[in-house]
Amino acid sequence: MTAAASPLRRVLDALPITVFVLLFIYLSVNSNSFLSLPTLELILKQAVPTVLVSLGLATVIIAGGDDVVSGGIDLSIPATAIICAAIVADQLTNREATLIWGLVLAFGAAGVIGVVNAGLVVWVRMTPLLATLATSVAVVGVTKVITESRRIGVTDPTIVFIRDGQIAGIAAGVVLTAIVALAFWHLVHRTRWGMNLQATGGSRDAAQISGIATNRFVVQSFLLAAFTGWIACTFVLARGSGSSPGSEENLLLEMVLATFLGAAFSPRRVVTVWGAVLGAVLVSALSVGFISIGVNVFWTGCIKGALILLVVASAAAGRAQ
Amino acid sequence: MNYTTKLLAALAMSVSVAGMAAADGHANLEGKTIGVAVVGTQHFWDREAFNGAVDTVKELGGTVVPVDGGRDNQVHADNHDILLNQGVDAVISILGDGAVEPKFEALKNAGIPVFTVDHQSPHAVNNTTSDNYYMGTTIGRYMADAIGGEGKVAVFNAFEGALRICGIRTGLWKYVLQDYPGIEIIQPELAEEFANAPEDARKKTLDLLSQYPEGTLDAIHVGCWDQPAIGIVQALEEAGRTDVLVTALDGGPDTLEIMAEDGSPFVANVAQQPNLIGSTAARNVAAHFAGETLLPQTFVDVFPVNGQAEAKAAYKELGYGSLD
Amino acid sequence: MAHALLQMHDITKSFPGVLALDKVALSVRAGEIHGLVGENGAGKSTIIKVLAGVYKADGGSVAMDGETLGDVNPRTIHAAGVRFIHQELHLVQHFTVTESVFMGQELSGPTGLRRREMTRRAEAFFREALGTELQGSTLIRDLGIAERKLVQIARALIDGAAKLVVFDEPTAPLSSGETKKLFAAIKRLKERGIAMIYVSHYLAEITDICDRVTVLRNGRNVAVFDDILPDSADAMITAMVGRELDALFPSSNHAAAAQMLQVTGLAHEAFSDVSFEVRAGEIVGIAGLIGSGREELVDTLYGLRKPSAGSVVFDGAPRTFKAPRDAVAAGMVLVPRDRRHDGLVLDMTVSDNVNLASLDDISTALIERRKAGAEKAAGVTAQLDIRPPNPAAVARNLSGGNQQKVVLGRWLTRGAKLFILDEPTVGVDVGAKVEIYTLVEQLAADGAAVIVSSSDPAELVGLCDRVLVMLRGEIVAEVQADMLGIDHLVALTTGGQAA
């Protein structure tokens, strides 16, 4: 019995990367401004909310395993980001509260979502896919109640700074997000806690045998995911200069694509923190690239959907090998 | 003068107004790249305004960089960053909510003039729009007349606070109703979704109807546009409550068709000319580059539509075909 | 004489209706490899689980280094220096060797994980304690099975606090070459003064590496062997089996008739070059331990797994079954080993289960004729004496023996030519066993060919005409059952004796 990778497996592994490389070559050839510094900054700026929620999703997948159906997944992170943004915007604009107070309330809401998700998955034993989908729908509903489905503009100076400000000559939002991403990378890949989290997702039995309290890690992963939703809300507000109803859908699509794409790019073919960050940046680059060369927005959605299928299917087929 | 001749006269006048800039001869867009950003292209109004702008830019010799927000205000706003990055000469931005304001400011700071459609902004050179003041007051009068000057009215009003044009239209509608003390606006007001308006409005109307049984609700008004009205009429027909009257604004072909049906509860509308609006915005860009000073706003005429007969006439005169 | 490192005294453990351990003693001296043998159900794994703190003993004591442990739970046992190498590897495929070795016991400093130090220690451990070179950065999925086993051992021992290591069937998935590698590592551990308990069915391995052996039978101590010689295996087998053939079995001897099945050179990942034939009216047994390839062979015959080589001739024609439905269509049926999962729809009635395989016969143009089905089920229920004699009973509520009869009954209604019974009497009480054996006899007498794959040597010897013995993926013996004693068969399957 050998453990060497079969040729089919290697083709499946290389497929998503190949498709992406081809797409980027196509974009570079067809848009003369695609490979330029301003475009790069634009790509990074637009990637910010996706990067943040993908950090959360990566954590949940790492703790729950990367099987798309039975493994870890949290579809409610974008909804969490949107409800937190709505709460903060509502407090700032409609109730004239301080940003801090708005963030405190939003933190509480994110905490409740994290606990509910963890509870449904760990104690009620629902599949994460269904549990977090249900939470997501409920959270979107509550968001509509808070905002009455209306846009709420925000002009708070801190939010404006995150939108327009610079730190060391780089967009403030990008710098702050990089700091959060680095913190996550250290936590998940460079600490005992992170190794135990990875072991929990890698093999629940193996982790338990090794004395790791696996349920605790799954619970903590959902709490962290909700936490990333909370962090993302500030950046969502900055990006839209307020809270707009309905913006969670696009974020959800990009988050799932980014996180699983990251796995296709990692040497071990597993979801990682830095893979999720890279994936989010690539997804943003694709969006910017397609718009730059005038591809119809519906085609862009279609291509993104197809890419999710490609990435997830090749991972699933690779596992079946 | 009957309705059709009124309409024809007005149409002829508005076309001649719009034609003036082009008639100057020197106003063209040769060698210019114009970004055209639209919030979405699913709806008739958005698509027509977008087509009007794109076609006219091409007609005037310019190159178009089109971007479409897919009916997502956030994506629409972000698309302006890409236009900025591409270094276009001017941007025509159609609709959009407050999220686009900082993008306009950035474009202005980069020396790229912004021309808006249906979106007033301090950072734009000019806003081309319908006569929203006339729209708001007229639909107020028509609705009040239709329900005999008294009764309970529900309003779909998601955008009064977010979009200035909606603030004008709904605000003036309410202003007119102040003179009808017998008309009561049901609180809280309803808020329709931006992306999926007809289906969303249908569900919310069914909820509303179960709350307000027969005889306790007289009309439903859509404050700023007409897409929700499609769902509202569906819901009324499903529930057998076509005694409740419907009014809305925009007057696209889909809602004019509904108005033209026999016994339709949809009784009043104000039709706009979106294609002409988009086209006018493009001509304004050309005028700007030709050194002309533009007024902050260019108004394009609208056509009040009161009842089935006028709906059929307007449908024909606006070039959507025949409903007879 | 070395002192006793581990002393388990008078360990008693009962489960509802079963006395699993009856005052069992197990004593392991410092620095020795102690074998623990016994048939399935003898109590080996129960006593290991008591030692691990997974089961709480009803009575008895456990002492390490002369000190009695008050509370035996996984934590105290770990603190006392006892480590377990489970049969399952429990490794994460995408982890590196270093990450796997330090799983749950990572070294970390003020700036996070000390990856370099962990790698250094892991590689040193492999080199010095296990006598093998393994790169810390290699992924588990790129290792062979034996190397993975070594990683599992390293994980248990890397903290240097292990005094006693329990190996549970460590060689089951290994080839003989890989087994040698593992034994070399085990011997090095012994040199370092670590005591081991070695649980295995492979008596050849036991006599090879163990210093002393404890034999269990039916939850009791039957013997402790202090001096292990190569020919101790015979005495162990006698102690393990300790009984003569029960009178459960009907007389069997069938006239050889036409050939029904011929298998030539069949191969798969788990077995190679398997050839045999089965004739109509004959009952052929397949013996073999878990990991011998027996289960995979049965699955392959039935189309559940794909063979890598070889040919099958069934009922006079060459066949390739891509799926079980092909096999069923040709007249070959399987009564699967895990009937609760594979054999029955537990929430359906007896009647529905019986008719499941033959819906074609009782349905017209896709419409199920329920009346015909009910009549058929009633017939089968009576014929097989299924209790309660009620076709409307829900399968879940039947006893194991009666459930098995329902599965058999389903295929009876098809009139199959070859029956493959995989572990037909696991979890079945004695009375039902007799009925199932009688039924199998009847099938053969009616002219069907029968293959019985079983881990119960008595069943094979008593029921079959001929027994094929598998060991590590090969057929090592083919014996006429009337020439075969239970102990002889055990010796063959455990590698305790060459064929």
B294 touches A: beta carbon within 8 Å: no
Question: ∠B2-B5-B11 over CA atoms, to 5°?
Answer: 140
Give C-chain residues touching A268 at CB under 8 angstroms. 94, 139
B140 and B171 housed in the same domain: yes
Is B189 inside any structural domain? yes
Torsion of CA B87, B91, B94, B100, to 10 degrees: 60
Q: Is B249's pLDDT higher than 90?
A: yes
Q: Is B33's pLDDT higher than 90?
A: yes
Average pLDDT over residues B107-114: 95
Q: Is C244's pLDDT higher than 60?
A: no
Give A-chain residues touching C92 at CB under 8 angstroms. 198-199, 202-203, 206
Partners of chain B (3+ Cβ pairs below 8 A)? A
Boundaries of domain holding B41: 3-129+274-301
Band of residue B90 on the pLDDT scale cut at 50, 70, 90: very high
Is B286 inside any structural domain? yes
The ipTM value here is 0.85
Which pLDDT does position B7 carry in this prediction?
A: 58
In DSSP terms, which residues pair with C33 in a beta bridge? C196
Give A-chain residues touching C83 at CB under 8 angstroms. none
B91 and B21 housed in the same domain: yes
CA distance B244 to B259: 14
Which pLDDT does position C256 carry in this prediction?
A: 61
Q: Choose the mutation target among C95, C100, C158, C168 for the interface with A, i.e. most A CBs under 10 Å.
A: C95
Average pLDDT over residues A143-158: 87
B73 and B95 housed in the same domain: yes
pLDDT tens digits along C121-155: 999 999 988 888 999 999 998 888 889 999 999 99
Q: Is C8's pLDDT higher than 90?
A: yes
Is B317 inside any structural domain? no
Q: Is B53's pLDDT higher than 70?
A: yes
pLDDT tens digits along C287-323: 988 778 888 898 898 888 888 899 999 988 888 888 8
B18 and B108 housed in the same domain: yes
B174 and B61 housed in the same domain: no
Which pLDDT does position B17 carry in this prediction?
A: 47
Q: Is B264's pLDDT higher than 80?
A: yes
Which pLDDT does position A318 carry in this prediction?
A: 67
Which pLDDT does position B14 carry in this prediction?
A: 52
C382 in Cβ contact with C434 (< 8 Å): no
Q: How far is C87 from chain A (nearest CA, A)?
A: 12
Q: Per mean pLDDT, which of A311-315, B56-60, C237-241, C290-294 is the most reliable?
A: B56-60
Helix, strand and coil in chain B, % to nearest 5? 50, 20, 35
CA distance A239 to A227: 19
Average pLDDT over residues B191-218: 89
A320 touches C: beta carbon within 8 Å: no
B141 and B256 housed in the same domain: yes
Average pLDDT over residues B12-41: 69
CA-nearest residue to A183 within chain C is C112
Q: How far is A272 from chain B (nearest CA, A)?
A: 28
pLDDT tens digits along C91-125: 998 999 999 999 989 999 888 899 999 999 999 99
Domain count, chain B: 2
The dihedrals phi and psi of C298, each to the nearest 5 degrees, come to: -60, -45
Question: If you write DSSP's letter for every residue of C146-160 in order, what string do you get?
Answer: HHHHHHHHHHHHTTS
Q: Choose the mutation target among A9, A61, A190, A195 for the interface with C, i.e. most C CBs under 10 Å.
A: A195
Average pLDDT over residues C324-351: 79
Q: Is B23's pLDDT higher than 50?
A: no
CA distance C394 to C413: 19
| CATH number, residue B184 | 3.40.50.2300
From the list A33, A242, A294, the residue facing B66 with the nearest CB is: A294
| Domains along chain C with CATH numbers | 4-241 (3.40.50.300), 259-493 (3.40.50.300)
Contact A207 C103 (CB under 8 A): yes
pLDDT tens digits along A191-217: 999 999 999 999 888 898 888 899 999
Contacts of B117 (CB under 8 A, 6+ apart): B49, B53, B92, B93, B94, B95, B127, B128, B129, B277, B278, B281
Which pLDDT does position A321 carry in this prediction?
A: 55
pTM of the entire predicted model: 0.78
Q: Is B150's pLDDT higher than 60?
A: yes
Contacts of C163 (CB under 8 A, 6+ apart): C5, C30, C64, C65, C80, C81, C82, C194, C195
Q: How far is C144 from chain A (nearest CA, A)?
A: 6
Which pLDDT does position B18 carry in this prediction?
A: 46
B67 touches A: beta carbon within 8 Å: yes
Which pLDDT does position C499 carry in this prediction?
A: 45
Give C-chain residues touching A269 at CB under 8 angstroms. 94
Contact A191 C108 (CB under 8 A): yes
Least confident of A87-101, A105-119, B129-143, C168-182: C168-182
Q: Is B9's pLDDT higher than 60?
A: no
B167 and B90 housed in the same domain: no
Quickly list H helices, B87-218. Answer: 101-109, 132-146, 164-177, 197-211
| pLDDT > 90 fraction of chain C, expressed in percent and rounded | 30
B285 and B267 housed in the same domain: no
B215 and B108 housed in the same domain: no
Q: How far is A224 from chain B (nearest CA, A)?
A: 26
- Tell me, what amino acid is at C223? A
Contacts of C33 (CB under 8 A, 6+ apart): C186, C190, C195, C196, C198, C209, C210, C211
Is B320 inside any structural domain? no
B60 and B137 housed in the same domain: no
Least confident of A217-221, A238-242, B234-238, C122-126: A238-242
> How many C-alpha atoms does B314 have within 13 Å on its Cβ side?
28
Q: Is C326's pLDDT higher than 60?
A: yes
CA distance A137 to A113: 12
To the nearest whole number, what is the mean pLDDT of chain C? Answer: 84
B70 and B144 housed in the same domain: no
pLDDT tens digits along C362-374: 555 555 556 777 7
Residue C279 is given by DSSP the state: E
From the list B86, B87, B99, the residue facing A242 with the nearest CB is: B99
The neighbour count for residue C127, using CB atoms within 10 Å, is 12
Higher-scoring residue by pLDDT: B176, C353? B176
A76 in Cβ contact with A113 (< 8 Å): yes
Q: How far is C73 from chain A (nearest CA, A)?
A: 13
B54 and B152 housed in the same domain: no
- Which of A15, A89, A28 has its CA nearest to residue A242? A89
Give the length of chain B.
324
Alpha-carbon Rg for chain A, nearest whole angstrom, is 20
Give the length of chain A.
321
Q: Is A2's pLDDT higher than 70?
A: no
Q: How far is CA A128 from the centre of its chain?
A: 16
Band of residue A148 on the pLDDT scale cut at 50, 70, 90: confident
Give the length of chain C.
499
Q: Which of B255, B271, B287 is the last residue of a domain?
A: B271
Give B-chain residues touching A289 at CB under 8 angstroms. none
Q: Per mean pLDDT, which of A249-258, B106-115, C474-483 is the most reliable?
A: B106-115
CA distance A34 to A286: 10
| Domains along chain A with CATH numbers | 37-320 (1.10.3470)
